[in-house]
Amino acid sequence: MDWSDRIHWTKTQRERLVELGGDEVLDEWFCSTRERDKTFYLREKELASRGRRRLDTFRESVRRPVVCRLTEKLVDVLMGAGFVQVTTPTILSRQMLARMTIDDRHALFSQVFWLDKNRCLRPMLAPNLYDVSKSLMRLWSGPIRIFEVGSCFRKESQGSTHLNEFTMLNLVEWRLDPKERLAHLRDFAKLVMEAAGLPDFRLEREESVVYGDTMDVTWQGIEAASGAMGPHVLDDAWGIDSTWVGWGFGLERLAMMKEGAHHVKPYSRSLAYLDGVRLNLS
């Protein structure tokens, strides 16, 4: 049979195999629909059995999703490095968003979930961290290191690495020596990625719609975090004049990378998945 006559999975079959975490079988080809459908039945059965075993292990010993375990590990590591954890509101005012230059002419504006004309679900942690930082800099002397872990919301395209609701880890250090900014930026990326079990990362220059020139952490070609440093033009809206470095990490993406998966959705807040395993296994 000519190669061009060979048959691939149907769209429905492919979607089901992806749901069950069967990325390793997606490139299989067949000589007939009968062979394909018979193989699909076997692959689905095998993957469902694997999922049940993973759920049994989760119930008996693991008991916490990988994102929760990862969050706990990163919180401990950052606190050990002198960072202070803060928690801020999920609902953000239009005024706070505008101070990040995000108005109806901004590329990110159409991705915001608005609750009413003046309030939205935060698409990022940065505005609140700016506000908290300004207060702390009036109260504390010397370098200040803070971080937050929290949900953010954007009307993202539903690709393999995007979610409408996702968990960000943002960290920032203020009032450091200007000559140490790049070194600290690199050190904090290493601190987080090594704690996440992903030491073989890369640092790459990138352009951000909010911060302009930034540095990204990538792992096997996928963006894991975006970093920047200041003083920055955005600081003026908060009346801040200070050196700083900061990173924003997507924790579901880190979990996906850590687990060697190809899709982020199984590691998100979900009714359909638990710790990367599809619950509809029958």
CB atoms within 10 A of CB 280: 11
Question: Can you tell me the distance from the alpha carbon of 78 to that of 72, in angstroms, rounded to the nearest whole number?
Answer: 10
Residue-by-residue DSSP string for the chain: --GGG-B---HHHHHHHHHTT-GGGTT--BSSHHHHHHHHHHHHHHHHHHHHHHHHHIIIII-S-HHHHHHHHHHHHHHHTT-EE----SEEEHHHHHTTT-STTSTTGGG-EESSSSEEE-S-SHHHHHHHHHHHHHH--S-EEEEEEEEEE------TT--SEEEEEEEEEES--GGGHHHHHHHHHHHHHHHTT--S-EEEEEEETTTEEEEEEEETTEEEEEEEEES-GGGGGGT----EEEEEEEHHHHHHHHTT-S-SGGGSS-SSEETTEES---
- Tokens representing 85 are 């954890």
Residue 1: per-residue pLDDT: 45
Q: Tell me, what's the pLDDT at 5?
A: 67
- By the 10 Å C-beta count (0-12 exposed, 13-18 middle, 19+ buried), 250 is classed as buried
Average pLDDT per run of 10 along the chain, which is 282 residues long?
72 92 89 93 94 95 96 98 98 94 84 94 96 96 96 82 92 96 96 96 75 82 93 92 96 94 92 94 81
Confidence at residue 103, expressed as pLDDT on a 0 to 100 scale:
83
Residue 202: what pLDDT?
A: 93
Token match 């698409």: residue? 123
Which pLDDT value is given to residue 276?
Answer: 93
